[in-house]
Structure 1
Amino acid sequence: MALAPFHLAIPVYDLAAARQFYGDLFGCAEGRSSEHWVDFDFFGHQLVIHQAPKMAYQEAAHCNPVDGHEVPVPHFGVVLAWEDWQRLAERLQARGTHFVIEPHVRFAGQIGEQATLFLLDPCGNALEFKAFKDIDQLFAK
C-alpha cells in the first residue's frame, strides 16, 4: 500500500524565521500562503506553519528517556531512506546546526535499530528525522 501524504499544521510565533528555516535549511518548496500561514512540501507531505502566540512547550519541551537520550515531546518528523538520512545529517552538520540530539544510531544491534537526530525550529518546535536500514522494522517489537 502506498503511503498517503499527511497534513500537519504547527504554530510558529515568528513566521519569517520559520519560513526561512523550512524553506532554506530543508529546501522545502512553498505552496499557498497568506500573511498568517505558509504551506510547505515537507518531504512529500503538507506542513503548514501558522502564526500563533508562543506555546508553553515551545519555551521548554517536556522530555522522555529513550535509549539513553532525553527526547523532546511533542515532536514530529519524517522517516527517510538510510542514504537520504545520511545526506540530511551531513547537510545539517555542515551548516552548523544545533542539535537537541546529535545524529546517531539508536537501539544498535536490536530490533528497530535506527538512525535518528533531533533539532528545534526557530520557534521551539521539535523535529526528528530517522531512518531504518531495514524499513520492515518500522513497527517491530
Structure 2
Amino acid sequence: MSAPILTEGAALEPVEYDVTRADLVAYAAASGDHNPIHQDEAIALAVGLPGVIAHGMYTMALVGRAVATWTGDAEVVELGCKFTAPVVVPADAAARVRVAGTVKSVADGLATLALEVTSGDAKVLGAPKAVVRA
C-alpha cells in the first residue's frame, strides 16, 4: 500500500482506541515496564494518582498506530509529544483514547501532522506531532 496524498490543511479522520487493564498487563510484559502504578490501584492512589494509569509510551504507540492508519506504509520520520496528563484506566471498563489531527504542512516531500490526543475531556499529550515522508 502506498501513502495517500496528504494535502495541507486536510483534517484526518479521528481514531479511537479502548484501553483496558489487560492491555496494560500485556504492554508491561512486552516493554519490561512493570511499574505498579500501571496495574495496582492501591499503589497508584498511594502516590497521588487518580487510579491506575496507562504507560505514557503505550499512549504514544496508539498515536503511531493512528498515523499508520492515516498514511498507510509512509515512512515515519518523526513522532513526538510531551506527556501532560495520564490516561486513567478503570478496573471495570475501558478508557478511550482519541487521536485526531490535521495536515499542518507539506514541503520537501514531508508532511507534518498536528495531532490532538485526548481521553475523556483531557488532552493527554502536549504538542503531539508526526512527520511522514509524503
User: Would you call these one fold, judging by a TM-score over 0.5?
Assistant: no
Q: Which has the higher contact order (CA 8 A, sep 6+)?
A: 2
TM-score, normalised to structure 1, is: 0.30
TM-score, normalised to structure 2, is: 0.31
